Chain A
Amino acid sequence: MSKVEVNHLTKSFGKLKVLDDISFQVEDGDFLCIVGPTGCGKTTFLNSLVKLYDVDCGEILINGEAVDLNKHSIAYIMQEYSTMSWLTVRENVQFGMKIRKFSKKKIKEKTQEVLRMVGMEKFADYYPGQLSASMLQRVSIARAFAVEPDLLLMDEPYGQLDLELRFKLEDELIRIWQETKTTIIFITHNIEEAVYMSRRIMVLTNKPTKVKEDFENPLPLPRNVTEESFVEMRNRVTNLIKWW
């Protein structure tokens, strides 16, 4: 179970100030979607959270303590391609589970489960060099889901996928969230996607980036994109974005 606290987070690259004194909290079991203009620092935030970047000042806490990648069970689906070329699809999917020392039996079961979920079971023995961009993305998604994280970080994970698979994996993510009560931070450029899945939406400003708006999404699940309340919510987010 993971509650995330971001306190006065500031991060620059040289003279370029990217994140400017950002503070917010993500409650345990919450589903937060972050939208913001391109280059505003969404990826920078997630990289800072998992300590790939050192921050200038401020802190990020999980359950009140500094992030510890061995203690806190985090999975991060990066925006960049991150599958390992020397491992098969199956081995890629098992990569995180092996580091986390899952039992052999569990690894086997879970591998089947997540491969089926992303529709890659037929390609289990392929190498990344033999796959398309969308397939590579699905492998990364499966690898993250496989470790059953307490905190799931997703950086535009569905951008590469075709619509059908996208809709399927959106529903799948909602199901996983409801079943496991994992905390999710999901970055997307797709407003409809954000309104469809999230329990909370955060809109960021241009650089130097602050939180522009942060509000609950109270629509009951499952949501219907044609319903009036859904369209209303979508327009609200769209209007916020128009002000960029």
Chain B
Amino acid sequence: MKEKKLKYTLISVASIAAFLSVWYLVTDVFHIFPSSTFPSPVKVAQAFIRKLTVKTPDGGTLATHLAASLKVALYGYLLGIGIGVPLGILMGWFRKVDLIVKPIFDLVRPIPPVGWIPLMILWLGIGMRAKATVIFVSAVTPSIINAYTGIKQTNSVHIWVARTFGAKSLETLIKVGIPSALPMIFAGLKVSLGASWMALVAAEMLASTEGLGYMIQMNRMVGKADNIMVGMITIGLVGAMLTWILEKLENKLVKGGRTK
């Protein structure tokens, strides 16, 4: 078991190393691409270190942009799942809620979150609230769908067990419906997170004065590819880290595997 784990880690490390080597070869060694538009990993690393302290050309250090992005993303995300998951659960469990909410939801759902941006700019300007709203829209949809589906898939035998012991509907929901839907709910939280992070960057590119998406956009205007890549890599790393945190939480909360 331990040997296997080590082997998998080695493979992962090797694949990243190979990727970086190829990148290095086609840039700094063989100069296949011009380094101004396709900088080498070394250049990007240097830009990364520089961006930790230097504010030009986009008006902020990497940390300030990252903090701005995280703040908006978490704000919109937490609001999205905070409303989406309970709503999905209630829709899945109570027929009346389903009947009232589902038609509206089905109409709104096909609109891509980014499609909300123009209206949000018009209503709320290009500040925090407009972006957070767009992220909210991105996060809320997958959390509703997964919580709803998870609850709907509750094994009826389990519901029957609770009922024959005398549990009322709400108690059955809490003791049977929600725990059995938890794996689905977590899958939704992860999809929501990915969608939020993507919407964030889009929103920042279109309507912002700070954040990682804004930083990328500003550096495109002045043609600084190395800074663009620094922005992209940061987005990737932080996104992966947030997913990792969510998975840790899932492992803690989802008990007994997914079968039987």
- With A70-B166, A74-B164 already in contact, the answer to whether A129 and B256 are too (CB < 8 A) is yes
With a cutoff of 8 Å between Cβ atoms, the chain B residues found around residue A100 in the complex are: 165-166
Within 8 A of B (CB), among A133-147: 136, 147
Q: Is the CB of B163 within 8 A of A52?
A: yes
Name the contact of B165 in the complex, choosing from A85, A86, A96 (C-beta under 8 A).
A96
Q: Is the CB of A85 within 8 A of B163?
A: no
A192 to B255, CA, bound (A): 41
Chain B contact-residue range equals 20 to 34
Q: How far is the CB of A181 from chain B (nearest CB, A)?
A: 21
With a cutoff of 8 Å between Cβ atoms, the chain B residues found around residue A50 in the complex are: 160, 163-164
Within 8 A of A (CB), among B215-260: 254-260
With a cutoff of 8 Å between Cβ atoms, the chain B residues found around residue A96 in the complex are: 161, 165
With a cutoff of 8 Å between Cβ atoms, the chain A residues found around residue B179 in the complex are: 84, 86-87
- With A82-B157, A84-B179, A86-B179 already in contact, the answer to whether A69 and B164 are too (CB < 8 A) is yes
A41-82 vs B: 1/0 string, CB under 8 Å?
000000100111000000000000000011000111010111
Q: Is the CB of B163 within 8 A of A128?
A: no
- With A81-B157, A86-B182, A87-B255 already in contact, the answer to whether A69 and B260 are too (CB < 8 A) is no
Q: How far is the CB of A133 from chain B (nearest CB, A)?
A: 10
With a cutoff of 8 Å between Cβ atoms, the chain B residues found around residue A76 in the complex are: 161, 164
Which residue of the partner chain B has the closest CB to A71? B166
Within 8 A of A (CB), among B151-170: 157-158, 160-167
Which residue of the partner chain A has the closest CB to B258? A85
- With A52-B160, A81-B260 already in contact, the answer to whether A99 and B255 are too (CB < 8 A) is no
A69 to B165, CA, bound (A): 7
With a cutoff of 8 Å between Cβ atoms, the chain B residues found around residue A95 in the complex are: 161-162, 165, 175
Name the contact of B257 in the complex, choosing from A47, A78, A129, A147 (C-beta under 8 A).
A129
A86 to B182, CA, bound (A): 10
Q: Is the CB of A85 within 8 A of B180?
A: yes
Q: Is the CB of B158 within 8 A of A82?
A: yes
Name the contact of A84 in the complex, choosing from B164, B167, B176, B254 (C-beta under 8 A).
B176
Is residue A177 within 8 Å, beta carbon to beta carbon, of the partner chain? Answer: no
With a cutoff of 8 Å between Cβ atoms, the chain A residues found around residue B258 in the complex are: 85
What are 20 contact pairs spanning A and B, CB under 8 A? A51-B163, A52-B164, A69-B165, A69-B166, A74-B164, A76-B161, A81-B260, A82-B158, A83-B260, A84-B176, A84-B180, A85-B180, A85-B257, A87-B256, A88-B256, A95-B162, A99-B162, A127-B255, A128-B256, A129-B259
Q: Which 4 A-B pairs have the closest CB atoms?
A: A127-B256, A96-B165, A129-B257, A99-B165
Name B's A-contacting residues (CB within 8 A). 157-158, 160-167, 171, 175-176, 179-180, 182, 254-260
Extra A-B contacts (11), CB below 8 Å, given A78-B157, A86-B256: A47-B160, A78-B160, A78-B161, A85-B180, A85-B258, A85-B259, A86-B182, A87-B179, A95-B175, A99-B167, A129-B256
